Structure 1
Amino acid sequence: MDALPFLLLLLLSCPPFFLSDGSALPPLHHHAYAAVDLHPIVLLPGNSCSQLDAELTEQYEPSSSAPASCGAGKGKGRWFRLWKNGTALGDPAVAPCYTDQLRVVYDRAAADYRNVAGVRTCVVSFGTTRGFGSDDDPSDPERSHCFKKMTQVLGRIGYREGENLFGAPYDSRYVPAPPGMSAMAFAAFTADLRRLIEHASRKNGGKPVILVTHSKGGLMAVEFLTRSATPWRRRFVKHLVMVSTGAGGIVVPMQSLAASAYAPPGSLARTERSYGTVFAALPSTKVFGDAPLVVTRRRNYSAYDIPEFLAAVGFSGEEVELYRTRALPVNVGFRAPRVPMTAVYGSGVPTPEQLVYWDGDFSKAPEVVYGDGDGSVNLVSVLALNTVVGDDPEQGFFKAVKIVNATHSGIISDEFAMKRVISEILEANRATYDK
């Protein structure tokens, strides 16, 4: 890991950023930063932000919904960008091949999810932030919520790629399984993340690392931390700054799961139904309780009724059982990471909290009842952190920071929101804790 490449970020001329007390962040290299002893940062991005390369072996056979030509490159030892290849996914001639090769299958013998036979994948540029977002389309709006702007701002306050700034991309098709169950992709990621954190600490004189996460990256970080030994956490992790992540799932995926049931074979929406992550963000019973989340004339579906909802939108009995045995225990088992933690979240943005399919036809767009949140994460889910994390007697430092009118992606890309996120990162650098 000591050979991680160095990348000097471009220093852009940006408006000043501000600390939480309202004072402006000085320009880069200003003498005020001499008092900030920067700790290394490892960034964990949100869902779909990590790029994947793929190779096709002789074992690969296109599925019935994909053209036979999709196997033309197999066995040639050629690696190519599988995700996110915006050019290919936007080309009707080759998009079915890419969606076919992105599929995930559940291997009953291994009791785990894996790629389809003959497709080998690897995460691009692990250890750096260069694998975040789509690199073949600079205009891709997803780049904004994949830490692109955040890394530029961190560069202005003294962070340098490969020196004290690192990235931990991951294959977002996979998620953790409950302890004791096989989850090879998550196990490989956590092993790599552990080595990266130790490397970042050694490279910076033994300083513990600050983990900065967005959205699903927060869930990955929390699962990683809760499964790490206490002495290791205390030595290597100074602080977790978790942005836009709740403790109890969200309502938005219920709408996308319903719609994907009617997407054409070979489409990306159909492919995504195969992912291990497909159930990971569904509402938790511990947070949403028996509130009706999906309403029809014949019946309502609460968080307790998600197995029945999944069956109603076309998931097989085996798939529903995977939700019960793999996703649900992790979902309801969200715990305090037991490292100093700051949770930053948006509010004041209309966020789906109830979906009305009155005639029971899930192929149609629902009437959406909106509540509070950041447009994706419901406020009730982030407020649950106060109980799950704040009330844990072994947690120690915990702080929740609300940013009004910050959207789910805008919180790490819009200037007014990034001001506060950056100020919390600086405060984490300065903070001292009783351990």
Structure 2
Amino acid sequence: MESRQQRLIITPLVLLLLASLFFAAAGAHDDATPGLHPVILLPGYSCSQLDARLTDDYEPPTPACGVRKQGRGWFRLWENYTALQVDPALLPCFHDQLRLGYDRAAGDYRNAPGVETHVVSFGTTRSFRFDDPALKNGCMQRLAEALEGVGYKEGSNLFGAPYDFRYAPAAPGVAARSFAGFRASLKRLVERASETNGDKPVILVSHSFGAFYATQFIDRSPLPWRTRYLKHFVMLCAGGSGSPGIMQVLASTMGSSTPTRLAMFGDRSFESTLSTFPSPEVYGDTHLVVTRAKNYTAENIPEFLAAVGFSDEEVERYRRRAMPLTLSFKAPIVPMTSINGVGVPTVDKIVYWDGNFTEKPQVVNGDGDGAINLKTVQALEKLVGDDPDQRYFKSVLVPNTTHSGMISDDSALRIVVGEILEANLATSG
């Protein structure tokens, strides 16, 4: 089947036209517009909220971490800004309760003993909406509000698919209970969203790490099911590979035993920490981490992990669970629009000249959105162009737009909403 690929770089004139359409539609709909295809939003890393409860098996690092919560039902584990602001001494408690362990017998990741968790409000966008104005721009709340402004309505034709971001999809045939549960839940949600909207197929919209969940979900869904239930996939701020930036994040936590709020975003115990490394298929032998004694490329990430303190067992988990997905990534066979920011300094290379990973490195920047390199976006475009089965692909580059700005800045939201409305009208799906 012939591949149809487009690339659009947004110009000021196009932006002006999109702005007029956006504001003309905004506020015009109090109820869901019947003709729209249902939309399901998959948020970025750390945007899904998690509840937890502690059983008698939980052994707290300090008495204060367990005594007040054990046996008292569910509480907000992530992200509990209120508790941390009132009592920063609770930070080690939340850090301990968020950590994952690896069950060798099951060959899979698990919560810490005595900690039970669940994702808050699956099926809705409530899990990534916040009352605190300071938090509204970080996740997909403003995008949800913008979609409501053009005729979408929460619970009617607008839904959310939050996930436990500590876990990650693993290579086929490898145990991954959390992702398997997410796949089953998202499949039911897609089918319900379609069936309650006149059997219209669904538009999936992901941001950042949500694209990893979305692409693996699509790839592992049978083609007849995709054809019936998926209208379009709109992927925001993701490309055909991971980012060198994760290497700096991991190096910065080397030897650190004091929990910080930043460390809670990318704890070394999280399965997802090993899932965002640059792909050798994209970066090849390009030097990503430079020291006087040795340079590290995407092809020798296992050596880099060992250098920053990961055990042999943890490195083997990367090889077995994460690396096969990195090496085999391809654009999902479904009509697709990729939207990325460019024109923002983005990590290309990290220099620890003396080989001391605990020191602040020199960073060499390239182009991108501050998190996702333009190089990985171009790799995605090439992957699609080389795939004869891809029916429709459009790449949109938005100048001077950051990774979080794509879902919070008015100018970027106009473009994103415009592309979702365009996907509604397309006949390719």
Question: Is residue 93 from structure 1 mapped to residue 86 from structure 2 by the alignment?
Answer: no
- Per-residue displacement from partner, 1:355-375 (whole Å, max 9, x unpaired)? 001111111110000000000
Cα distance, 1:27 vs structure 2: 3.4
Query: Match of 2:39?
Result: 41
Instruction: Work out the CA distance in 2 between the residues paired with 1:346 and 1:30.
Output: 29
Structure 1 runs (4+) greater than 6 angstroms displaced:
19-22, 33-36
Aligned residue number for residue 221 of structure 1: 214
Does residue 256 of the first structure (1) align with residue 249 of the second (2)?
A: yes
| CA deviation profile, 1:149-181 (whole Å, cap 9, x unmatched) | 111111110000000000000000000110101
Contact persistence 1:46–1:146 (CA under 8 A): yes
Asked if the contact 1:40/1:164 (under 8 Å) is kept, the reply is: yes
Residue 9 of structure 2 is matched in structure 1 by: none
Hey, what's the Cα distance between the residues in 2 that align with 1:283 and 1:432? Answer: 35
State how far apart, in whole Å, the 2-side matches of 1:159 and 1:35 are: 6
| Mean Cα deviation higher: 314-323 or 384-393 | 384-393
Match of 1:149 in 2: 142
User: Whose relative contact order is higher, 1 or 2, with alpha carbons under 8 Å and at least 6 apart?
Assistant: 2
Deviation at 1:202, TM superposition (A): 0.8
Give the count of matched residue pairs. 411
Q: What is the distance in 1 between the residues matched to 2:205 and 2:112?
A: 32
Q: 1:19 to 1:388 in 2, by over 3 A?
A: farther
What SS does the corresponding residue of 2:372 show, helix, strand or coil? Answer: coil
The two structures have a TM-score, normalised by structure 1, of 0.90
Judged with a 3 Å threshold, the aligned counterparts in structure 2 of structure 1 residues 388 and 36 are, in CA distance, closer, same or farther, namely: farther
User: How far, CA to CA, are the matches of 1:357 and 1:372 in structure 2?
Assistant: 21
The amino acid of 1:114's aligned partner reads R
Give the whole-Å Cα distance in 2 for the aligned partners of 1:362 and 1:385.
Answer: 31
**1:204 is matched with which residue?**
197
C-alpha contact (below 8 Å) 1:212/1:242 kept by paired residues: yes
Q: Is the 8 A contact 1:104 1:275 kept in 2?
A: yes
Q: How does 1:419-430 map to 2 (within 5 A)?
A: 419-430=414-425
Q: How does 1:343-358 map to 2 (within 5 A)?
A: 343-358=338-353
Q: Given the superposition, is the C-alpha separation of residues 136 and 429 from structure 1 closer, same or farther in structure 2, using an over 3 Å criterion?
A: closer
Equivalence for 1:56: 54
Is the CA contact (8 Å cut-off) linking 1:18 and 1:423 kept in structure 2? Answer: no
Summarize the Cα distance change of 1:58–1:22 in structure 2 as closer, same or farther, 3 Å threshold: closer
Structure 1 residues 114-193: aligned runs within 5 Å: 114-132=110-128, 135=130, 137-140=132-135, 143-193=136-186
Does the alignment pair 1:239 with 2:232?
A: yes
Equivalent-residue separation in structure 2 for 1:325 and 1:150 (angstroms)? 36
The match for 2:310 is 315
Give the equivalent residue in structure 1 for 2:374. Answer: 379
SS at match of 1:389: helix
Displacement of 1:419 in angstroms is 1.4
The alpha-carbon deviation at position 263 of structure 1 amounts to 2.4
Deviations 1:330-359 (A, max 9, x none): 112212211100000011100010000111
Runs of 5+ consecutive residues of structure 1 not aligned to the other structure: 1-16
Structure 1 equivalent of residue 297 of structure 2: 302
Q: Alignment partner for residue 63 of structure 2, among 68, 72, 78?
A: 68
Distance change >3 Å, CA 155–CA 317, structure 1 → 2: same
Whether 1:406 and 2:401 are equivalent positions in the alignment is yes
Question: Cα offset for 1:137?
Answer: 3.9
Is this contact kept in 2: 1:36–1:426, CA < 8 A? no
Question: What percent identity do the matched residue pairs reach?
Answer: 54
Shift of 1:20: 6.4
